[in-house]
Amino acid sequence: MLVFIPKFYIWVDNPSINMQTTLRNPRRTALLSVLAALCLGIQLAPRPPNVEFTSLFTFVIGFVFGVSTGVLFGSFIMFINGFFSPWGFSGLNMPFQIAGIALIGLVGGLYKKYLQGYSSAEFVVEVAVLGAFLTVVYDLITNLGVAIQFTIAGTPFTWATISALAYGTPFSVIHVVSNSAVFGAAFFPLTKALDHAIMVENLG
Amino acid sequence: MVEKRTLAIIILATLTWALIATGSTTYYYLEQAKYQEQLNEKQNLLNQLKENYNSHATKKNLISGDYGALLGEYQWFTEENYSPLMSKYEQLLSNLKGNYTQILNAFPELNETYGNLLNRVQTLKNENVTREEFGSLLNDFYKLFTALTIKESEEFLGKTFLIHVNLCIDYGNGTVNWYNNTEVALGTTLFNLTTKIAKADYSYWPTMEPGHILIDSINNYTSGYWIWYYWDESTNEWVFGPVGCDAWILKDNGTYKWTCTS
């Protein structure tokens, strides 16, 4: 099993740009810092509930810089967001938010293998659908976190899960609609912009 | 290859739609169940209100009938000594106590009025009772009876409807405490609210009307006289309480103030 882990890591990570090479390159580190600051700025600014750009940024970072960087980027943003979010301290839900966003970063990294010609507008619908699906999965994970909080407070787990998922649905709808629009509209322009940036090499 | 990819995307889209649709349906179902429960609860309250109203009307009509009969006897009585009617009066008072025990126990000011009336009856029982004295007893009985019936109807309405009020207690020494958005039953008097929020000592004044209660201390603070005011929203100023605090019925979102003045 332990022997399998490095192989899996190599498989999931971008073969050309892995985490180590990303962070060894000061230009890439600077670019990632700027993107993290931008993403945090948007994430922590007052905004309508569940309308966010962190998922897109994490997905794009995963896509451009590889799985590890995407996972770490999303986890870092969610960790900071857990303390300073305009909606209050995340508390027990924070690990679930981190897990959800890490999954988006992971899928972003894996998606590059399956997207031929990333600049093509033909895949706008595909990216929008993928964004919507990832958002639903993210919401399922975070609602599970809410259900666990309810369970700790004394509600039976089954009822806590059903009510957390059901009462989270209106917010989930906003999240899915906004994220599919954001993914569909901004994924390719953002990837293209990063591609043109001088510090990103060997992309695609 | 393209077909496989399209299929994968269609599956993902369908899965997204299915999850959202399931969640929405569950949400709708839970909301419906919640509203249905609230509706049933309200319906039960209305049924209870109807039952209470019937019981209230029966009691009121019964005692009104007895009172009317005694009043008729009093009006047609020709002798100078009205003591023969005293036993009927005592019976009427006893009936009143029997029918409104719960209200009398819940409201000390009304219980005190009842106790005073009973004491007067006991005092007059073995004496020569004049027409004026018996007339005064009848009059006081009717006032107490009316107060009890109103209080009872307010009590069962209060179980169905709640109001929110604000109370300020100004101790006059710089300490001002606000009790905002306090939930009370419909028909609650300022006296009831004050005793609910704070420890209040009071004295009963039989001759003062309407309302027989004067507050002597709030939370053991006795350095002066306790006077109450209500906030007049039309003029935006505090208005001096015109009656005893036990006769002032609170309004929804009303604001009231106790001030200790030396």
Beta strands in chain A (DSSP E): none
Name residue, tokens 């039989």: B206
Q: Are residues B146 and B218 in the same domain?
A: no
The per-residue pLDDT for range B14-59, each reduced to its tens digit, is: 999 999 999 999 999 999 999 999 999 989 988 988 888 899 999 9
pLDDT score, position B158: 80
Comparing CB atoms, the residue among B15, B16, B24 nearest residue A169 is B24
Q: Are residues B87 and B138 in the same domain?
A: yes
What's the CA gap between A1 and B81, in Å, rounded? Answer: 111
Q: How many domains does chain B have?
A: 2
pLDDT score, position B3: 75
CATH number for A18-196: choose from 1.10.4000.10, 1.10.260.40, 1.10.30.50, 1.10.1760.20. 1.10.1760.20
Of A68-77, B28-37, B199-208, which range is least confident? B199-208
Interface TM-score (ipTM) > 0.95: no
Interchain pair A166, B19: CB under 8 A: no
Q: Which of B159, B174, B193 is the last residue of a domain?
A: B159
Instruction: Calculate what percentage of chain B has a pLDDT beyond 70.
Output: 99
Q: What is the mean pLDDT of residues A150-178?
A: 94
Name residue, tokens 């209870």: B48
Comparing CB atoms, the residue among B9, B12, B20 nearest residue A173 is B20
Q: How far is B32 from chain A (nearest CA, A)?
A: 12
- Position B13 in a domain: no
Q: How confident is the model at residue A91 (pLDDT cuts 50, 70, 90)?
A: confident
What 3-state class would DSSP assign to B126?
coil
Name residue, tokens 């060894």: A24
Interchain pair B9, A126: CB under 8 A: yes
What's the CA gap between B145 and B56, in Å, rounded? Answer: 12
Q: What is the mean pLDDT of residues B177-206?
A: 90
Chain B hits for A55, CB-CB cut-off 8 Å, are none
Q: Select the more confidently predicted residue: B104 or A11.
A: B104
Q: Are residues B153 and B173 in the same domain?
A: no
**CATH number for position B200:** 2.170.130.30
Q: How far is B161 from chain A (nearest CA, A)?
A: 29
Chain B hits for A132, CB-CB cut-off 8 Å, are 12-13, 16
Q: Are residues B149 and B55 in the same domain?
A: yes
Q: How far is B38 from chain A (nearest CA, A)?
A: 18
- pLDDT higher than 70, residue B216: yes
pLDDT score, position A14: 46
pLDDT score, position B161: 82
- pLDDT higher than 70, residue A116: no
Q: Are residues B176 and B98 in the same domain?
A: no
Q: What is the mean pLDDT of residues A128-151?
A: 95
Chain B hits for A167, CB-CB cut-off 8 Å, are 27, 30
Q: B79 φ, ψ to 5°? A: -80, 165
Q: Are residues B232 and B251 in the same domain?
A: yes
DSSP character at residue B189 = B
Interchain pair A167, B30: CB under 8 A: yes
Q: Exposed (0-12), middle (13-18) or buried (19+): which is B154, by Cβ within 10 Å?
A: middle
Q: Are residues B223 and B201 in the same domain?
A: yes
Q: Are residues B128 and B142 in the same domain?
A: yes
- Position B39 in a domain: no
Q: Which of B118, B144, B159 is the last residue of a domain?
A: B159
Task: Give one DSSP letter per residue of A136-186, joined into a string.
Answer: HHHHHHHHHHHHHHHHHTT--HHHHHHHHHHHHHHHHHHHHHHHHHHHHHH
Q: Are residues B113 and B53 in the same domain?
A: yes
Q: Which domain holds residue B238?
A: 162-261
- Position B152 in a domain: yes
- Position B19 in a domain: no
- pLDDT higher than 90, residue A148: yes
- Position B170 in a domain: yes
Name residue, tokens 């922590």: A44
Q: Are residues B58 and B110 in the same domain?
A: yes
Residues 6+ apart with CB under 8 A from B1: none
- Position B7 in a domain: no
Beta-bridge partners for B202: B215
pLDDT score, position A119: 56
What's the CA gap between B196 and B184, in Å, rounded? Answer: 9
pLDDT score, position A120: 64
Domain ranges of chain A: 18-196
Comparing CB atoms, the residue among B5, B16, B30 nearest residue A163 is B30
Name residue, tokens 């649709």: B21
Q: Are residues B172 and B88 in the same domain?
A: no
The bridge status of strand B162-170 relative to strand B255-261 is parallel
